[in-house]
A = this chain, B = another copy of it.
């Protein structure tokens, strides 16, 4: 059996994955199994505690991985993780991380939930209750690597961005920072694959309900909007409220954001130029030639984001496309990218694989 467990001899960082029975958890395992500097030492999954990872995700049958265990009663100090990836549901996350960091001062956390992404007041507004770890909420660094790389490097707690928001932010933040587009009526029409909705057994996520169709959901009140407003406003230097409409469609992986913007001052070609130069030396964002639009299938399984810019037929407007794999750059891949930055490794370590197409 193949094993990548860390040991005294090697220099592998000691990794724990909290919530390994979901899709972001298994994706972390997939990526870390091929990471030369990281070893999986701990896997938790309360509902599946005591089972093997192979029982929950048969694709890992050939690999030698730690058994799944319950979070309760883990001695965080004794385990001595270097990095803990937290892929737990919203809510429980904040108390688990608060406890973990209190007991294991040398462990650093990359949290994939929404718990530490928002500023306190915004969190209270959108989630309807006070945060359980406000001081950590203030300490947490928002982990959109391309934008906050330096802060991530020093962070003890990184709030990994959402999949929808990563996709839209990578396309728009450079333009907002350059003051190149109007901030009044930005429209983001997003199409997502089903893994973005998680692995919980719900009627509306059954194959027969999802196949052969598409629909919008959460129109006007999707929590990802808070994250977009917050980061867009920071980038623009003034309040931005974005129109964001997510759609669910029959594919496993991928998010395509088709973004409609107006620019009083810049041509579509100039917007394209801003993105080209901004991402010239970023390994995981590729700006396509002007007029070419991205396809989600061309980033599947990779940590890449493809961005395209085209001229709208309405004068003064442009159409921007952004595509990524929601489980990789939209979640677990960016989490590993952040880990690499935190550990001072080459940012692309373990993330080199090209997209799986077809």
A residues neighboring B (CB under 8 Å): 2, 23, 26, 29-30, 33-34, 57-63, 185, 187, 189, 191, 193-195, 199, 201-203, 205-217, 219-221, 225, 241-245, 247, 249-254, 256, 258, 260, 262, 283, 286, 288, 291, 293-302, 304, 306, 310-314, 317, 319, 321, 323, 352-358
Contact B260 A187 (CB under 8 A): yes
* A297 to B57 Cα, complex, angstroms: 11
Q: Which among B61, B208, B249, B353 is the interface contact of A214 at CB below 8 angstroms?
A: B249
For A260, the closest partner residue in chain B by CB is B187
Decide yes or no: A254 and B214 within 8 Å by CB, A187-B187, A358-B209 being known contacts: yes
- Contact residues in B for A291 (Cβ distance below 8 Å): 219-220
* A216 to B207 Cα, complex, angstroms: 17
Contact B62 A286 (CB under 8 A): yes
* A314 to B194 Cα, complex, angstroms: 27
In the complex, what's the smallest C-beta–C-beta distance from A133 to chain B, in angstroms?
28
Contact B243 A314 (CB under 8 A): yes
* A33 to B252 Cα, complex, angstroms: 25
Q: Which among B57, B243, B293 is the interface contact of A215 at CB below 8 angstroms?
A: B293
Each complex incorporates copies of this chain amounting to: 4
Q: Which among B58, B217, B253, B314 is the interface contact of A298 at CB below 8 angstroms?
A: B58
Decide yes or no: A61 and B286 within 8 Å by CB, A189-B258, A208-B358, A216-B258 being known contacts: yes
Contact A250 B358 (CB under 8 A): no
* A201 to B34 Cα, complex, angstroms: 34
In the complex, what's the smallest C-beta–C-beta distance from A103 to chain B, in angstroms?
31
- Contact residues in B for A247 (Cβ distance below 8 Å): 191, 256, 258
In the complex, what's the smallest C-beta–C-beta distance from A353 to chain B, in angstroms?
6
Contact A355 B59 (CB under 8 A): yes
* A241 to B189 Cα, complex, angstroms: 20
Decide yes or no: A205 and B202 within 8 Å by CB, A243-B313, A296-B213 being known contacts: no
Decide yes or no: A220 and B358 within 8 Å by CB, A211-B251, A215-B294 being known contacts: no
Contact A30 B208 (CB under 8 A): no
Contact A214 B358 (CB under 8 A): no
Decide yes or no: A194 and B219 within 8 Å by CB, A34-B354, A358-B252 being known contacts: no
- Contact residues in B for A300 (Cβ distance below 8 Å): 59, 212-213, 356
- Which 9 pairs show the lowest CB-CB distances between chains A and B? A213-B297, A215-B295, A59-B355, A208-B358, A59-B298, A207-B210, A189-B189, A252-B358, A194-B207
* A194 to B195 Cα, complex, angstroms: 18
